Every structure is written in structure tokens, then in C-alpha cells.
Chains A and B, each alone.
Chain A
């Protein structure tokens, strides 16, 4: 087996656009769940409105791409308001139910034939991100070292995406160390206590949902711009749970956790795929597995990893172990 290839495949994905987009999505979740304790099970919905908000604006109105991005961001804020205003007065579980349902509703709407003129239905929307690549400062060619290299367009998306990851991480770091972050954590710990001390928990929770949602929407835009395309299949609900996986691997509540969690997730995910494919190709598993089994198998491995983490290292890689072990509600 070619372990060099397995390793370089992993590294390529760990640095790639997907890892950056997952990192953004997980950073958003970290604001909502890690800092504020909001169980948002529909983060993928925020990615969806980011992607579609951009794509539809550009495609329908001919507006420049930056205006599309702005609409995508506003759409995420709007979604946070629509989800948060009715549910955040209720117990925490209701937000989980409403968010997972509305993410599905949005996805089904996006793929609906009735809205085909608008969203492209199952065929999606393409050909709206061209102006992003016109700004590409890298001259055509391949960049990288050894077996890990990217073409100039991918490198351009990566540059922008990882810049966004850094900016979002700095934002979370600034919030976390501030009195505002303290209020967020107090709501996570005990909302009634926060209210009894004069904190308007309701408004702060909506803010947190919106901030995390906007960061998630940036992730959605990154994915859509990278493919220069979006359709409903991009935004399946299990995606949200992969984001949670990333967050838990990295460490819930830590600033750098979701970023390194995303990189590690993609490294393992991709090198495992490489490994399985090679092993199957070389007949290691005989007739038991065929190459189409590699995909589902690596997903099963993700589930297994998540279980082991929860049992043996609940704080993830960068989380605070002491904090993770305190549980006295």
C-alpha cells in the first residue's frame, strides 16, 4: 500500500476548502452551543441561506457578488430571528426541534420543482460566482509541495476561506474574554440565574443564534463559491451532525478547537477513504467489501470516533477537561 498517498490525500483535504467551510460552520455552532448552550440542530440551514442568498441575488438581479454575500449574511440574521423569536422563550429542547425541522424545510423548498424558476429546483443554480475568480491574484498553474498541490482557483478560494476562519476565530476570542462572553456562558449554565441577575437572556440568545448563524452562512458561501454551484443535495441534515462532530473533536467552547477539529476531521476522513480504497483494490477484504463501500464505512468510523470521544475524552482535543467533568444539574 502507498502510505505516502494516504498521508498526502489527508493533508490535502485538511488544508482544503472543505475543511475551511466546516471550520466556519463549527465556529458558528461553537458560539451558539459551546458558549451559549443553544442546541441548534439546523446549522446547515444557515449555510443554505448563505449559499442561496448569494446565488439567487446574483443570478436574479445581476447584482455584484459582494451584494450577494451581503444578502446571504442578512438572510442568516433573518433566519436566526425567525427561528429564535418564537422558540427562545421556550425550553431549550424546542429550539433543537424547530431548527432541525426548518433546515429540512429550507432544503426541500430549495429542491422543489415549484420554485424551479427561483432556486433552480433539483438542478440548482450555477454560473454566478465567476466574478469571484476574476479577482484571483494567483496566476494559472499548480501550487504546493510534493504530492499536495492545488490549482490557482482552489488556492484562491482557500486563501479567502481560511482568512474568514481566522477572522471568525478572532471574533469568538474577543467575545469569549469579554463581559459579553460571560453573559453568554451564564445563559449556558443557568438561564434563570442570568435573568435573576438582570440579564436579558432572550435577546442575548437571539444575538448568539444570529452571530453563529452568520458565521455558518459564510461557510455555506465558501462551499457554493468553490463549486460555483448550489443545489438542495448540498445541505442535508446529517451535515449538521458532522459539524457537531468537528466541534466535539476540537473541543466545545474552545476558540481554536473547531478549526483544528475541522482539519483533523478532514485529514482522517480522507486518508481513511484512501486507505480503504487501496486495501479493497488490493483484495485485503476479499469479496466482503467493494470500493463503493469505502464511503459508508468511513462514515461509520466517524460515528465510532464520536462515541469513543464522548466516553474517553468528552472535552475534545482543546477543550477544558475540568470544565467538561463538572456536571451537577
Chain B
């Protein structure tokens, strides 16, 4: 397709993606792309379909139709674990710390293609002990980087909400991803920790990965994102720099309600 000429800079590109729950169209996106090496923020009012889009893209939810490519590979409809293995790793809005595993174990789990994860190799320690030592070293290094080194042997279930967000970020990075998708990384995180988190997100980009994140806090969006995509009622309504998107009248409408006392939003664009 000739359109592909313009997609060279995109690491993630989706077309005609739609997901409905019964009569409710949660996601109906004509075109969606994330530029390689950028920090892209995905904003939009509650119920705009951001998390559903995340879920569909990462294989946690089926798309009714649509296709999407990651790193020029068609990954539409792939199961979640294959998407992750391909290098597109997501975190969750409510962090999923593996509570009854230690913080370090959480990290070690995330390393990819571990020989010791096969049933039979698992029985012979010598087959994986060197690999395990490397993984542990890398895990400790990343824990220091996210500031959880002191908690390495604690159960992840004892961490605070903000610490869990940090753990999830570290764990995601442990997979050596090329695209990190963070679902509300700063939600429930105290301001001091938020600063630290944003700092880490910036350095993820600086080290060559791409970051896509869902965020509500416009200060956060403005301070770290290169590009902003705004969704409302399942569709992308604006795209550009933070300043451009915030000034877009459609975006203002989406957040503050439509002008001139027109019909309420859900009925004006409801399902046909």
C-alpha cells in the first residue's frame, strides 16, 4: 500500500480497529499510530476507550475487526503472551504485582526466553543456573534503577500502590521491550514518587524504547510527552503536540461537554 511510505516512523500502526460490547462501541479507531522513539500520551475522558484500546492492542481483548502492525509485523489478533514476546509490553491501570512472590522474583519472572522455564530443563539446575545468575544481576540493577533495591526480598504484596507502579515499570523493562505501554502510570502515586517515575519514563525513551501511556493529569502529559493522542467515545479525535491537542475545540468539547446545549454526548454519537 502506498500509505506505508508514511508509516516508516511508526513502531505501532493500527487501522480500522473496532471493539463493541453488545451495543456499546468501546473502540472505533480509523487509524492510530505511535512514532518510534517517542513518548506518546493517550488522553481522553473516562470511558473514552483508552484501556480497551490497550487491551485490544496487547491481545487481552479481541478486536471485532481491524489490523495492527508492530515493528512492521502484523500482530493483529495475536495472544497476549506472543505480543509481549514480540517486544510490546504493557502495564495495568491497577498494578498487578505478584503479591506472594518477592519483588526480585517479580523481576526475574519477566526475563524473556529463559531456558529454565521449560518443564524438563527445569529439573536440571546446571542447565539454567548461569542464566539465572545473569537474570538476577539484571533484575537487581533494574530494581536499583526504579528505587526498590531495599525491598528486593519483600513480598510484592507488601508494597505501597506507588511502589507497585514502579515495580511494574521495572518488570516491564526487564523484558527488554521496544514499546512500553503504561496504563495510568502515575495514578495513585504520591507527587515525589511521580517525579521519579516520570524521570524514569524519560530515560526509557532516551535509551531507545518507545513509550505509550494513558494519563489523566495534564501537567504530566505536558511535561513529558512528545505527542498526544486524544480519544473520546471510542474514537481518536485529536493528535499533535500537547499544546495543540489541549487547544483543539473538539478536545475541549469532549472534556467539558458539547456547546450550545446540543443533545448529550452518548445519544448524539450512539450506536446505530
Contacts and interface: CB of A to CB of B under 8 A. Distances in A.
Contacts of B90: 196
B109 A180 contact: no
Contacts of B85: 198
Interface in B45-64: 58-60
A209 interface: no
Contacts of B116: 178-180
Given A182-B105, A198-B81, A190 B122 contact: no
A178 B122 contact: yes
Given A192-B92, A196-B89, A329-B99, A174 B123 contact: yes
A197 B58 contact: no
A195 interface: yes
Contacts of B91: 196
Nearest to B96: A193
A180 B117 contact: yes
Contacts of B128: 178-179
Interface string A168-187: 00010011011111110110
B131 to A, nearest CB: 8
Contacts of A179: 108, 114-117, 122, 128, 132
Contacts of A202: 79
B185 to A, nearest CB: 14
A198 B175 contact: yes
A180 B119 contact: yes
A315 B125 CA distance: 28
B237 interface: no
Contacts of B246: none
A175 B121 CA distance: 10
A323 interface: yes
B143 interface: no
B84 interface: yes
Interface string B66-99: 0000000000000111101100011110001111
A207 B138 CA distance: 29
B129 to A, nearest CB: 10
A197 B122 contact: no
Interface in A290-329: 322-323, 326-329
B132 A197 contact: no
A325 to B, nearest CB: 9
Given A195-B80, A196-B96, A326-B100, A182 B112 contact: no
Given A195-B84, A196-B90, A200-B81, A178 B123 contact: yes
Contacts of B121: 180
B98 A185 contact: yes
Interface string A4-42: 000000000000000000000000000000000000000
Most buried by A among B99, B105, B109: B109
Given A185-B98, A197-B89, A178 B158 contact: no
A152 interface: no
A326 B117 contact: no
Contacts of A207: 119
Contacts of A166: none
B158 A193 contact: no
B149 interface: no
Contacts of B112: 198
Contacts of A177: 125
B158 to A, nearest CB: 7
Nearest to A171: B123
Nearest to A194: B109
A93 interface: no
Contact of B110 (A174, A175, A197, A200): A197
B158 A326 contact: yes
A197 B84 contact: yes
A195 B117 contact: no
A185 B82 CA distance: 20
Contact of B100 (A181, A185, A197): A185
Contacts of B222: none
B171 interface: yes
24 contacts: A174-B123, A175-B119, A177-B125, A178-B123, A178-B125, A180-B116, A180-B118, A180-B121, A182-B105, A182-B109, A183-B117, A185-B98, A185-B100, A185-B101, A190-B98, A193-B97, A194-B98, A195-B81, A196-B60, A197-B171, A198-B84, A198-B85, A198-B175, A326-B100
Interface of A: 171, 174-175, 177-183, 185-186, 188-190, 192-202, 207, 211, 322-323, 326-329
The 10 closest A-B pairs by CB, nearest first: A179-B116, A180-B122, A178-B122, A193-B96, A198-B84, A189-B98, A326-B157, A195-B80, A198-B85, A190-B96
